[in-house]
Chain A
Amino acid sequence: MIEPSRELRDACAIVGAGNSRLGRVPGTSSLDLLVEAMRNAIAESGLKVSDIDGIVCRGPDDIYGHHQQIGARLGINARFSTSLDNGGASQILAVAIASMAIKAGLASVVICGYGRDSWSRTHKSEEARVLNQTTPDDQLPKEFAPEYGFFGAVASHALGATRHMHLYGTTRDQFGDIAVAFREHALRNPDAQMKKPLSKEQYHEAHQVVAPFGLFDCSLRSDGAGAVIVTSRERAKDLKQPPVLVKGFGSFNNLRGWYNDDNMVVTAAKKSGEVAYQMAGVGPSDIDTAQIYDCFTYMVLTQLEDYGFCKKGEGGAFVASGALRMGGQLPTNTSGGQLSEAHVEGMLQVVEGVRQMRHTYPAERQVKDADIALVSGHGGNQVCHSTLILGRT
């Protein structure tokens, strides 16, 4: 069996992290928001924009050559520059590729980030709001789905939730524990899109979307962006922020498809996590906080199992125990996640993981004594996954 290179463990560090305005930001574009997040990351890092010689980012579906447009807006050329296409798994993959490029001597300071304008795009007109469509027409399925009235990501993820409930007796009330915990975290985050408390009663009373998912099982439509800057551990030493080590990363892709094998109940997070744990030299019991890709409540539950925080099938009991809340066994999505902070395809999970490792938050937002964070990214029709393990120096 091949093993991930130990040479990459702790070889690189994240030295800047930033987010743009989040939630409803009319009058901007995904690119504007991304560059806003990048400016914030650059400013706090103490680097000059001309120090950046690498760009790795996911391309929005509707922008060709995305990294080129970012470079043009930052006013830089780059030794290493490309756009990725792994959906919500791209943001961690960007940090992984940046680390590999730095270790290979292809770049020295790489900026990664992602921005989107889903709220503005789906609210630009009454028609756009009703159709609620973010996927370009030419990429929509043409057969074996639309004729059955099968549309959207809510439904495909909900199929996994139904199957998990059938196999393990998982309940909607347990999905609700996830939604409620993340909302509590969002209320401590002044940038978060959601500002009002959410009770379990409100969770259950909300309208159903595609059962078993109701309104609060679904992540937000958001405008927003996040960005991080990766460099070598050596270079990180004399910069402005406490460097946060890239301890390890992994990825796995269940390309046989979400509907095949057991992929909707044992996700690609399992194998992605094994690689990341191995590279970092840690296991699930070493993780102090998790930032999990929460497109839907169920996806958090199944990933917690896949990452070994509890056994397969016991995710419901794990989340119901209060484990995900601040002060719990594994404080998770401590900035509110995509369910309550903003949905930026996993980029804000990376940013929050970095901030937790710096220990610069006020006490109410800081996971106490957190030394190691696990961040997950998931996407590309539910089959692409990536894992990042961060640590304090």
Chain B
Amino acid sequence: MSGSTEEIKKEPKKKPIPRPAPESVKYWQAAKEHRLEIPHCNACGKFWFPPSQSCPHCLSTDFAFVPVSGRGKVFSFVTFHRVYHPAFAKEVPYVVALVELEEGPRLLTNIVGVKPENVTCEMPVKVVFDDVSEDVSVPKFAPA
């Protein structure tokens, strides 16, 4: 499995740009301004991720995108050695982690600013933003 075949054929050296679902547009708008914002339910007070149109804890549709601390810890991680997409050929080995935010939800992300062999589960991390284009910034995490 890899990126979309058509995209890779067209621009093999370009990393995939997120193509937001309608419910995650606000997440990416905030990220562009270097804020990590995720859905927060006004009815039950819980956060969730990835974004969806109602709260998976109570089904309320009364929610807002709210800034979170950007702090969390590595729940688990893997190190890519194989190149699944030509744009990542120079990146290997690189780490993709599942980070658990202080607010609860977990998200997939890269761990940067540390050698892959030094990443550990439970390691404290904080968000940093990678400006991949004029329009898109991707939240990544570095040791806190």
Contact = CB atoms under 8 A, between A and B. Distances in A.
Contacts of A209: 81-82
Contacts of B20: 142-143
B106 interface: yes
B1 A134 contact: yes
A146 B3 contact: yes
B132 A147 contact: yes
Contacts of B18: 142-144, 146-147
Nearest to B109: A148
A100 B24 CA distance: 41
B8 A131 contact: yes
A148 B96 contact: yes
Contact of A148 (B1, B76, B138): B138
Interface string B73-111: 001111111101100100101101010000000111110
A354 to B, nearest CB: 31
Contacts of B96: 148-150, 155
Contacts of B140: 148
A149 B94 contact: yes
A188 B36 CA distance: 55
Nearest to B3: A146
A387 interface: no
A60 interface: no
B110 A140 contact: no
Given A148-B96, A149-B15, A131 B77 contact: no
A149 B91 contact: yes
Contact of B4 (A140, A144, A158, A163): A140
Given A149-B88, A159-B98, A210-B82, A144 B107 contact: yes
Contacts of A134: 1
A127 B78 CA distance: 26
B37 to A, nearest CB: 14
Interface string A138-171: 0010111111111111110011101100100000
Contacts of B138: 147-148
Contacts of A160: 76
Given A147-B16, A149-B110, A155-B96, A133 B1 contact: yes
A153 B84 CA distance: 11
B118 interface: no
B116 to A, nearest CB: 8
Interface residues of B, number: 46
Contacts of A208: 79, 81-82, 93
B114 interface: no
B19 interface: yes
Interface in A208-231: 208-213
A159 B77 contact: yes
Interface centre among B50, B80, B106, B138 (most CB of A within 10 A): B80
A212 B120 CA distance: 12
Nearest to A258: B98
A207 interface: yes
B2 A152 contact: yes
A158 B121 CA distance: 13
Contact of B76 (A127, A159, A213): A159
Contacts of B98: 159, 259
Contact of A147 (B17, B77, B78, B94): B17
A264 interface: yes
Most buried by B among A135, A137, A259: A259
B15 A147 contact: yes
Contact of B1 (A149, A152, A159): A152
A210 B121 contact: no
Contact of B5 (A133, A158, A159, A259): A133
A160 B109 CA distance: 16
B6 interface: yes
Interface in B1-29: 1-6, 8-9, 15-21, 24, 28
Contact of B108 (A132, A142, A259): A259
30 contacts: A131-B2, A131-B5, A131-B8, A132-B1, A132-B2, A137-B6, A140-B1, A140-B2, A142-B18, A142-B21, A144-B18, A146-B3, A146-B16, A147-B17, A148-B108, A149-B88, A149-B110, A155-B80, A159-B76, A159-B77, A162-B121, A163-B76, A166-B122, A208-B82, A209-B81, A210-B78, A211-B93, A212-B78, A259-B98, A264-B76
Interface of B: 1-6, 8-9, 15-21, 24, 28, 50, 56, 75-82, 84-85, 88, 91, 93-94, 96, 98, 106-110, 120-122, 132, 138, 140
Given A142-B21, A151-B3, A256-B56, 20 more contacts: A127-B9, A131-B8, A137-B6, A143-B21, A144-B107, A146-B16, A146-B18, A147-B15, A147-B18, A147-B132, A147-B138, A151-B2, A153-B1, A155-B80, A159-B78, A163-B75, A163-B121, A210-B78, A210-B82, A259-B108
